[in-house]
Amino acid sequence: MATESELVGAPPIQALDAEKARPRPRDRGATLRSFGVTFFAVVVLAAFLSPMLRTVTTALKSTDQITQASSPLWPADQATFEYEGESYEVYHVPLPNGETKDLALVTPGRQQSEFLDPADPEAGLITWDGSWRALERSWQFAPKWSNFVDAWNTIDFPRLIFNTAALAAIGTIGTLLSCVLVAYGFSRFRFPGRNFLFLVLLSTIFLPAAVTLIPTYTIFVKLGWVGTWLPLLVPAFFANAYDVFLLRQYFMTLPRELDDAAKIDGAGPIRILTSIIVPQSWAVIIAVAVFHVVYTWNLYFEPLLYLSSKPELQPIATGLAAFNSIYGSSPELVQAATLMTIIIPMIIFFMAQRFFMRGIVITGVEK
């Protein structure tokens, strides 16, 4: 038990609580650093997404707004006022008393113009001295959702989407089958020259595509594959260095004791791959699948080279470029078509985001 003198000399409980609640200088510094990092991340994200925001706003604008130099960044139409069956454009008009008011232009003139107050049309016409062309227009929010319908009807989107989805699906299957097998061999089997062969495989990443363009095209011409999907699909079944590297690094994180236990039970290499390796590697497999889908969705040069004579077989990137060359004078339709092309890859990415990030982090950090 504390004595009465000790209780008298002790600080009040409220003072102790206030002292504990008061932020320490070290905590204050950590808070400022956290705020600075968060603010920097938000600024970088805003700068990164600004082109996408510009694409969205342009896709919702009208042709008249795009041609107006003083139009706002957001989709809008010039405000109008209906009076006695007539439509008048509304402008920001500076009045003699220093106030700026939105007035409807009734009678334009070089030196004098007559306006009507939309808030009080019965007050009559207002004469304003000056050139009405120097006045700022009044705008009202008016997104043009019909741009997406016009773009859909102008370009054969169902056919382009089907072609792209088919190329992406078949190519992804071929990439996963070939890359998983090659990565499994490099990560689980020991054979002479393994490291050298893997180094040669990785060196192909640095080989410019222009070096192999003419020989590859010549081979496909000799095979009679030009004008078909075969030049775009067959190479996917022969693996690629980038995806093999990701899969191999992930497979090496799996303990070999699992393989030994499966061998004791009589499992062969293929059974180990399908029953042990693949079920534990869905994260990196999904990451590779997402990579290939996005790559195929953005593929432009190869379809243009091999399918230039077959427009009905071209994917969305090639069809969108042709659409842009024809309707370049209507940027709102081009941007609307562009937005429609990225919807499916975005949906796929967000659905596989958790597995995608886990596969990339484990592949890049643990090995």
Tens of pLDDT, residue by residue, the chain (367 residues): 445 444 445 455 554 455 554 555 556 667 777 778 888 888 887 787 788 888 888 888 888 888 887 788 888 888 888 888 888 889 988 888 888 888 988 888 888 888 988 888 888 888 888 888 888 888 888 898 988 888 888 888 889 999 999 999 999 999 999 999 999 999 988 888 888 999 999 888 888 888 888 999 999 999 999 999 999 999 999 999 999 998 998 898 888 888 888 888 888 889 999 999 998 888 889 889 988 998 999 899 999 999 988 888 999 989 888 888 887 778 888 888 888 888 888 888 788 777 666 655 554 444 4
pLDDT score for 133: 84
The answer on 216 and 160 residing in a single domain is yes
Nearest to 149 by CA among 340, 347, 345: 340
The one-character DSSP state at 106 is: E
Nearest to 55 by CA among 347, 259, 334, 351: 334
pLDDT score for 173: 95
- Asked whether residue 310 is assigned to any structural domain, the reply reads yes
Find residue 89's DSSP bridge partners: 80
Q: Which residue among 58, 88, 109 closes a domain?
A: 58
Question: Quick count: other Cβ atoms within 10 Å of Cβ 324?
Answer: 17
Q: Cβ distance 198 to 182 under 8 Å?
A: no
Give alpha helix (H) positions in the chain: 4-9, 13-21, 25-59, 63-67, 146-154, 157-188, 194-203, 209-223, 230-233, 241-251, 257-264, 269-272, 282-297, 301-306, 316-326, 331-341, 343-351, 353-365
- Asked whether residue 144 is assigned to any structural domain, the reply reads no
The answer on 87 and 53 residing in a single domain is no
- Asked whether residue 146 is assigned to any structural domain, the reply reads no
- Asked whether residue 305 is assigned to any structural domain, the reply reads yes
The answer on 123 and 181 residing in a single domain is no
- Asked whether residue 149 is assigned to any structural domain, the reply reads no
pLDDT score for 179: 94
Q: What is the number of residues in the chain?
A: 367
The one-character DSSP state at 24 is: P
The answer on 187 and 329 residing in a single domain is yes
Nearest to 293 by CA among 148, 173, 208: 173
CATH classification of the domain holding 351: 1.10.3720.10
Q: Cβ distance 60 to 147 under 8 Å?
A: yes
The one-character DSSP state at 205 is: G
Handedness of CA 220, 161, 350, 332 (dihedral sign): positive
The answer on 244 and 287 residing in a single domain is yes
Q: Cβ distance 94 to 84 under 8 Å?
A: no
The answer on 248 and 331 residing in a single domain is yes
The answer on 262 and 205 residing in a single domain is yes
pLDDT score for 26: 52
pLDDT score for 183: 93
Count of domains in the chain? 3
The answer on 266 and 133 residing in a single domain is no
The residue assigned the tokens 């989709």 is 75
The answer on 116 and 227 residing in a single domain is no
- Asked whether residue 275 is assigned to any structural domain, the reply reads yes
| DSSP track, 41-66 | HHHHHHHHHHHHHHHHHHHTS-HHHH
The token duo for 72 is 């706002």
- Asked whether residue 258 is assigned to any structural domain, the reply reads yes
The answer on 187 and 91 residing in a single domain is no
The answer on 327 and 178 residing in a single domain is yes
The answer on 111 and 52 residing in a single domain is no
Strand duo 100-107 + 139-141: pairing: unpaired
Boundaries of domain holding 45 = 18-58
- Asked whether residue 87 is assigned to any structural domain, the reply reads yes
